Chain A
C-alpha cells in the first residue's frame, strides 16, 4: 500500500502523529482533501515551502477544522464536483475535544459528508504538554502537575465517541496506531459511508508521555490490552463490533509504569489507591464493552 505522507518530515523519532496520518491516508486513498488544524502534525509536515502531504491539504486554525471541512464539502457539492472525493479532517485531541468541539458538533449535526479523525495523544503536545479534555485521570502534565496538592489531572477523559454518536453519526469507531490494519480498515469504512463519520485514534506520544522512542507501538497496544482504550465500532449509535481481549487482559499497572507521566503514582504516598481507581476505569470498560 502506497504511503501518501512523504518521509523527511520533522516529527520526533517514534512520532504517533506521523503514523496516524499515514494510516489515515492509506484508508482514505488518493482522492481526498485533508483539512488539518494547528498542532504537531501540521507544524512538522508543512514547514513552508515544504510539505509531506501527497494529497491536497488545507490548514485551519485550532478551533475550526470541522467548519473548514464543512465549507470544502459544501463548495465541492455546489460546484457539482464532490464525486467520490473524500473530505478528511485530522485534528488532535485539544483541537477536537476542547477548542474545536463546537465546530465538530455543527458539522455532524448538519450532516456534512466528511470523516473526522481525532488523533488523541492526550494533551497539547505542540505547545508543551498541557492537559486537554482527553488527558486521562492522574496523568501529570505541565498544567496538571503532580505534587503536594495533586496526583495530576483530576478528571477522567471526555467520552468523545459517545458525544459524536449522540449526534446521529452513521459510523463512529475507536482505533489505535498500535493496530495499523484496524485503523486503515476503519478509516476506509468511514470514508465510504455517506454522512459525517468519526474515527478516534489513540496515539501515544513519546515526548509528552515519557517513554523510549522505540516503544510507541508497545505502549499503544498496552493501552488496548489493559482495557483503558477499548476498540469498537458504532453504527447509527449502537456498538456493533468490539475487539475482544479474552485472556490477554493486562493490569493497568503494566501500562502506567511504562510512562513518565504516571511515575508519581509509584512513588507518592497514596499512589496505590490512585492506581486502583485507574484499574476501576479499565474494569468498567471491560464490563461495558464486553472486552
Chain B
C-alpha cells in the first residue's frame, strides 16, 4: 500500500474518502481549515459532494440533512465552531443519525487563539448540546490514526446510528507524518430501514426527535441509554505501555500521550516504575481497565492533559477515588513538555 507524508488534517479527508463518505460540509476555521480545503479539492474530482456552508450551524444541519438520506457524511471544525454546532449534534443524537465530526481543538475560552489545546473534552465527551445523549469519541495520537479513526468513526456511527467525534488537537491537525493508505475503499449501501432517500421503500420512514408525550420521550431516552451501555460494553479501546509493574500511571490521550511515552522511557532509564495508559476512546471511557489497575496495586494516577483537569474527573470516577491522583497540564496553546511530566514523575517517586 502507498505510503506518503501528509498533514493530519489531510489524513482525515483521506480516511473519509476511503470510508465511502460522499458528502462533506464545512466552514473555515483555523486550525481545521485544511480539512475543508482538501475536501473541496478531492470530493468534486471523485464525483462526491463538497459544500461550503455559510456558518458552522448551517454546516452541521447540512450534515443532519444528508445523514437523513443514509449517506456517509462528515464535517470538521475547531473549538468555537464546535460550540456553534452543538444544537445540531444534539438533534442528530435525538434523531439517531450517523455522522463523523472532526474537532481539531484550539485554545479557549472565547476566541482564545489558534494554538493546540484539549479544552473541548467536556463539550465533546460530555455531550455539549442539550439532552441525555452522548457522542462516541475517538482520540487519535498520530497522522495515521487521523485517517484510521475517521474510518472507524464511520463504522461506529452506522453501527449505532450515533454521531461520532474524532477529537484531535491543533498539533495533530497540522503536523506531518507518514501515512500508510488504507487497503480497502468502502462502497457502503444505504440502509433503507431508516433512511429517507426518496425511494418507494423508504417512503414511510421518519427522521425526527420530537416526542410530545412525556412517557414516549422518556422511553426513547431509556432506549438510547441502553445503546450507550452497549457501546460502553463493546467499544472501549485503549493502549497500555509499561503499566504492568508501574506504580505511577500516566493517563493521557492525543498529542499529550506521545509526550508521555517519551517521559516514560526517560523515567524508566532513571529506574522509576512508570507506565502510560492511553484512552483511544473517550466515550466510552476505559473505566473498567483503569479500575482493574487501581484495584491491583498501590499506584498514583497522573492525568496529563492540555486542559484544566477535564479528563482527571473521569479518571477519579473510574477508579472511584481509590488511589491518589495528580494533574499535569498546560493551557492557552502551550504544549506539555517532557520535562514537566518528568518533574511530576520524579516528585511522586521521591515521595514514595
Contacts and interface: CB of A to CB of B under 8 A. Distances in A.
A145 B40 CA distance: 7
Contact of B52 (A61, A63, A131): A131
A149 B48 CA distance: 12
A124 interface: yes
User: What interface size band does chain B fall in?
Assistant: 20 to 34
B44 A150 contact: yes
Contacts of B28: 94, 124, 127-128, 130, 143
A110 interface: no
B84 A63 contact: yes
The SS class assigned to the A binding surface is loop
A143 B54 contact: no
Contacts of B27: 99
Interface string A91-125: 00010011101000000000000000000000010
Contacts of B54: 97-99, 101, 133
Contacts of A130: 28, 33, 36-37, 52
Nearest to A47: B113
Given A99-B54, A124-B28, A149 B36 contact: no
Contacts of A150: 44
A142 B10 CA distance: 14
Interface in B51-104: 52, 54-56, 80, 84
B45 A149 contact: yes
Nearest to A62: B80
Contact of B40 (A94, A97, A101, A143): A143
B37 A38 contact: no
B30 interface: yes
Contact of A145 (B29, B30, B41, B55): B41
A97 B41 CA distance: 24
B200 interface: no
Nearest to B111: A38
B180 to A, nearest CB: 27
A144 interface: yes
Contacts of B84: 63
A121 to B, nearest CB: 14
Given A98-B54, A101-B54, A149-B45, A142 B40 contact: yes
Interface in A45-83: 59, 61-63
Contacts of A62: 80
A148 B54 CA distance: 25
B33 A63 contact: no
Nearest to B53: A98
B33 A128 contact: yes
Nearest to A135: B52
Given A98-B55, A99-B54, A149 B44 contact: yes
Interface string B13-27: 000000000000001
Nearest to B41: A145
A124 B37 CA distance: 12
Contact of B37 (A128, A133, A147): A128
A28 B111 CA distance: 27
B22 to A, nearest CB: 15
A134 to B, nearest CB: 11
A144 B40 contact: yes
Nearest to B44: A149
A241 B33 CA distance: 41
Nearest to A142: B37
A180 B29 CA distance: 31
Interface in A16-53: 38
A122 to B, nearest CB: 14
Contacts of B111: 38, 59, 61
B55 A61 contact: no
Contacts of A127: 28-30, 33
Contacts of A97: 54
A26 to B, nearest CB: 27
B342 to A, nearest CB: 31
Interface in B267-316: none
Contacts of A94: 28
Nearest to A158: B54
Interface string B134-163: 000000000000000000000000000000
Nearest to B47: A149
Contacts of B40: 142-145
Contacts of B30: 126-128
A130 B30 CA distance: 11
Contacts of B41: 145, 147
A143 B41 CA distance: 7
B303 to A, nearest CB: 29
Contacts of B110: 61
Nearest to A124: B28
A98 B55 CA distance: 6
Interface in A121-166: 124, 126-128, 130-131, 133, 142-145, 147-150
17 contacts: A59-B111, A61-B80, A62-B80, A98-B54, A99-B55, A101-B54, A124-B28, A127-B33, A130-B52, A133-B54, A142-B37, A142-B40, A143-B37, A143-B50, A144-B40, A145-B40, A148-B45
Given A99-B27, A142-B40, 17 more contacts: A59-B111, A62-B80, A63-B84, A98-B54, A98-B55, A99-B54, A99-B55, A126-B30, A128-B28, A128-B37, A130-B33, A130-B52, A143-B36, A143-B52, A145-B40, A147-B41, A148-B45
